[in-house]
Amino acid sequence: MDILEYSKKEWRGNTPVAKSMRKGYEAVARKFASIRQVRGDNYCALRATLFQALSQATQLPCWMQSEDFTMLPENLLSKYDWIKQWQLKEKPSRKTGEISDEIKEYLLLLKKKVGKWKCVSDIKCPVEKQEACDELFKNEEEEYRLYEALKFLMLNTAIELYNDEKNRRRVPIFSLLLFACDTSSSPCQLMHNHLNQIGHSGGLEQVEMFLLAYALQYTIQVYRLYKFSTDELITFHPSNPEEDWPVVTLITEDDRHYNILVRTCQETML
Question: Which residues have a catalytic role annotated?
Answer: 41, 44, 257
Q: How many CB atoms lie within 10 A of CB 60?
A: 14
* Cα atoms found within 13 Å of the Cα of residue 219, Cβ hemisphere only: 14
Distance CA 138, CA 141 (A): 9
| Sequence-distant (≥ 6) Cβ neighbours of residue 64 within 8 angstroms | 110, 111, 114
| Sequence-distant (≥ 6) Cβ neighbours of residue 209 within 8 angstroms | 45, 220, 222, 237
| Residue 175 exposed, middle or buried by CB count within 10 Å (0-12, 13-18, 19+) | buried
Q: 211 with 172: CB under 8 angstroms?
A: no
CA dihedral 198, 212, 58, 130 (to 10 degrees): 30
Residue closest to 144 by CA, chosen among 100, 95, 110, 188: 110
In the chain, the amino acid numbered 23 is K
Q: 56 with 215: CB under 8 angstroms?
A: no
